[in-house]
Amino acid sequence: MNSSGLALVVLTCAEMARQGASMREVVEEARRACAETKMVALFDTMKYLARGGRISPAIAVAAGFLRVKPILTFRDGEIIRAGLVRSREEGIVRLLRFLEAMGKLREVIVSHSTTQEELALFLERLKSSYPGQVDRVFDMGAALGVHGGPGMIVVAARRAG
């Protein structure tokens, strides 16, 4: 999940280095970018989180029975629950609200393991709220996707300074 947030930091620093910034400037920007970057993810199920040891199997079974979908984020380097929703639509709304709560954004990256149709609808809504700030969309790689399963949408955003 954190690869999207790391991508924001790395891509920013790589661009600075390409433009001739000093090592000190790049390191300072990396620290600033880390502090300004937040991530949130919507999962379709907790089954894969349990298989990967991220949550207990009992919680995954209960969540499946209740048909809830987790929303996770990071706080102080730890993955924490940011909420539970009952539908994909409610989850999408929660992702958008998370971004709204961050204030003015500099850049947004989306990574996913969802369908192209759902991704297109999400990106349409996201880009209407943040025109010109959603530059990159990545398919979730197998190593990360195995822990989240199909239907995952991860959003990483950097606040404007």
Assign residue 48 the CATH number of its domain: 3.30.1180.10
Measured distance CA(161)–CA(157) in Å, rounded = 12
pTM for this predicted structure = 0.86
For residue 152, give Cα distances in angstroms to 34, 46, 70, 148.
23, 11, 10, 6
91 in a structural domain = yes
pLDDT computed for residue 34 by the predictor: 92
* Per-residue confidence (pLDDT) for residue 93, from 0 to 100: 94
- Report if residue 123 sits inside a domain: yes
Distances from the Cα of 21 to the Cα of 28, 35, 60, 78, 146, angstroms = 11, 20, 47, 32, 37
**Could you tell me the two tokens for 60?**
């995954």
**43 contacts 148 by C-beta, under 8 angstroms:** yes
In a domain, 116, yes or no: yes
Tell me whether residue 77 is in a domain: yes
Residues 6 or more apart whose CB falls under 8 angstroms from that of 107 comprise 8, 12, 133, 135, 157, 158
**DSSP 8-state symbol, 39:** E
Q: How many domains does the chain have?
A: 1
Q: How far apart are CA 87 and CA 60, in angstroms?
A: 16
Asked if the structure places residue 26 within a domain, the reply is: no
Residue 28 in any domain: the answer is no
The confidence score (pLDDT) of residue 130 equals: 85
pLDDT reported for residue 76: 77
What range does the domain containing 140 cover? 36-159
Q: Where are the alpha helices (DSSP H) in 3-160?
A: 3-18, 23-36, 47-51, 57-66, 88-102, 116-129, 142-148
pLDDT lower than 50: segments of the chain: none
Give the per-residue pLDDT at 110.
94
Report d(CA 85, CA 71) in Å as an integer: 8
